[in-house]
Amino acid sequence: MYEGFKKDHVVRIKDFTLDEMSTVFDLAEKMIPVAEGKKKNDDLEGKLLATLFFEPSTRTRLSFEGAMKRMSGSCIGFAEPGTSSAKKGETLADTIRVAAGYSDIIVLRHPHEGAAQLAANFSDVPIINAGDGAGRHPTQTLLDLFTIKREKGSISGNHIGIAGDLKYGRTVHSLTNALSMYDTELTFISPPSLRMPDEITDALGRKGIEHKEVDGIEDVLDELDILYMTRIQRERFPSEQDYEKVAKTYLIEKHMLEDEMCKEDLTIMHPLPRVDEIAADVDLTSHAKYFDQAANGVPIRMALLKLLSEG
Amino acid sequence: MGEEKKIEEKRKEIKITPIKQGTVIDHIRKGQALKVLRILDLIDKDIDFIVSVAMNVNSSMGKKDILKVEGLELVNEELDKISLIAPEATVNIVRNYEVVRKHRVELPKMAKGIVRCRNNNCISNQNEPLIPEFEVVGKDPVTLKCEYCEREMRGEKISDNVI
């Protein structure tokens, strides 16, 4: 039925072809009225989703369970490891084989990197990686790309600024890798100590993707179509003072977006939760799309659940 | 001068005595011979053979290690595994004191069960029922990428993590 999608599992964004991503986006677009509760859908009636969350992530879990239930499916699972048999010393491989016997599809979040790959090796039913350690979080990347596509009509052709902790942030690494499949211009905005790792910028260079690095948001704000903000974490700095100094310069406030300081249709995104990066007064401007971005997580996950369960 | 050369030749002979039949692995990076031996995993083989190791041997290209396995002819597939830590190694298969085949080790595409991931948080280091597996993504220096966490390791890190 969906010839463009040939996956048994969703483990990492790198495994996706452009065709597969566009199949996911097209289906997600159709699912929006269902995600918003405006249209009924029973595509997954009688199907059971197991959400195995070995570390808590309320937003990701709720959006998967919401997506499943909007399509008339049901959910089982746990939200933290204290309630699972992992505490008794069971291997993940065994937990997955047991859960695969109980359910039609498994969503896994796990503190160890590569856990989703292991799960995929042992499972008879599709695995969706909902974050494994500091590793991958492919559904976040898909919803980020989907948001850009919805806001701008296409992903290619945009100048995208990615700001914040670019050294350690897994969301931005995954997003940058995925954006390199499209024809975009990228600007990385970070303090020198939190620059994008060389292996990622080198890969962009090899693919011929234009990119530059700057220290401050205002150095490039007026050129951007998209500004993707992320959190800078206190623990990355030697002292509270050092953190405060940097944090202040990575704050977007409404007055920075006035007159001709940025493009009229600049889109501001953020994977949330935000702390100090975006002032509350920005929420009411037309630039603020981070809550729409979070909401886009539901149709994207609906599309994936449907594609995998029918595959 | 001529006398000194003779003595040197004699010394060399003593250090690296020829074998009648078996495998001589030459040009192993200095200090790596025992790890090469570990990778070859010979101990469980049910064959009568003798291993001798020469370490820190002078050569025209600097110091090197040499490994001789008398009584056992290793096949290329087994030998290529050592290329992960000894990419310059050359192999001579000897029969009746003659070299009958020469082989230069080649990097495999995948390395399974030879090294463990250096990332402590990787699922492959958590007592799960799996064999660590790496894709060989670079030749010079040899670079391995974990199939699970995708962390890369190269050079000394690889030999430090031989299983």
Nearest to B42 by CA among B8, B11, B73: B73
Residue B6 pLDDT more than 90?
A: no
Closest chain B residue to the Cα of A133, Cα to Cα: B121
- Joined tokens for residue A170: 């897994």
Each domain of chain A, given as residue ranges in start order, spans: 13-134+297-310, 138-294
CA distance A76 to chain B (A): 24
Separation CA A293–CA A13 (nearest Å)? 18
**Cα dihedral across residues A194, A199, A202, A204: positive or negative:** negative
CB B53 within 8 A of CB B65: yes
Q: Between A12, A93, A113, which is nearest B121 by CB?
A: A113
pLDDT at residue A133, as a whole number = 82
Q: SS3 sequence, B39-100?
A: HHCCCCCCCCCEEEEEEEEEECCEEEEEEEEECCCCCHHHHHHHHHCCCCCEEEEEECCEEE
CB contact under 8 A, B123 and A121: no
A112 touches chain B (CB under 8 A): yes
Query: Which residue shows structure tokens 């690095």?
Result: A213
Which residues in chain A touch residue B121, judged by CB atoms under 8 angstroms apart?
111-113, 133-134
Element (H, E) at A290: helix A290-295
Cα-based torsion angle of the residue sequence B113, B115, B121, B125 in order, rounded to the nearest 10 degrees: 40
Q: Could you give the angle at the alpha carbon of A80 between the alpha carbons of A74 and A82, nearest 5°?
A: 125
Matching CATH topology for A13-134+297-310 and A138-294?
yes
CB A24 within 8 A of CB A5: yes
CB contact under 8 A, A112 and B129: no
CA dist list (Å): B34 to A298, B27, B38, B85, B117: 55, 14, 6, 11, 20
- Joined tokens for residue A114: 């590569």
Which residues in chain B touch residue A110, judged by CB atoms under 8 angstroms apart?
123
**What's the whole-number mean pLDDT along residues B86-113?**
92
Q: Give pLDDT < 50 ranges for chain A.
A: none
Which residues in chain A touch residue B151, judged by CB atoms under 8 angstroms apart?
113
Nearest to B57 by CA among B33, B38, B41, B78: B33
Task: List B residues 62-101 in contact with A (Cβ-Cβ < 8 A).
Answer: none
pLDDT at residue B49, as a whole number = 87
Closest chain A residue to the Cα of B129, Cα to Cα: A93
Which residues in chain B touch residue A92, judged by CB atoms under 8 angstroms apart?
123, 126, 128
Residue B1 pLDDT more than 60?
A: no
Residue B12 pLDDT more than 60?
A: no
pLDDT in tens, B13-65: 555 678 899 999 999 999 999 989 888 888 777 778 899 999 999 988 889 99
pLDDT at residue A84, as a whole number = 64
Pick the CATH number of A13-134+297-310 from 3.40.50.1370, 2.70.210.12, 3.30.70.260, 3.40.640.10: 3.40.50.1370
How sure is the predictor about B3, in pLDDT bands with cuts at 50, 70 and 90? confident
A91 touches chain B (CB under 8 A): yes
Classified by CATH at the fold level, domain A138-294 comes out as: Rossmann fold (3.40.50)
pLDDT at residue A135, as a whole number = 64
Separation CA A113–CA A191 (nearest Å)? 27
CB contact under 8 A, A117 and B151: no
Nearest to B153 by CA among B130, B135, B128: B135
Chosen for mutation from A117, A121, A129, A202 (greatest number of chain B CBs closer than 10 Å) is A117
pLDDT at residue A134, as a whole number = 74
Q: Between A111, A118, A132, which is nearest B130 by CB?
A: A118
Cis peptide, bond prior to residue A273, ω within 30 of zero:
yes
Q: Between B126, B129, B152, which is nearest A112 by CB?
A: B126
pLDDT at residue A226, as a whole number = 98
Residues of A designated as active site: 59-60, 88, 109, 137
CB contact under 8 A, A93 and B150: no
**β-pair type (A211-214, A105-110):** unpaired
CB contact under 8 A, A91 and B119: no
Give B146's strand partners: B134
pLDDT at residue A102, as a whole number = 96
Cis peptide, bond prior to residue B141, ω within 30 of zero:
yes
Cα-based torsion angle of the residue sequence A234, A237, A242, A245 in order, rounded to the nearest 10 degrees: -50
Which residues in chain A touch residue B119, judged by CB atoms under 8 angstroms apart?
113
Which residues in chain B touch residue A91, judged by CB atoms under 8 angstroms apart?
127-129
Separation CA A203–CA A218 (nearest Å)? 26
**What's the whole-number mean pLDDT along residues B57-77?**
89
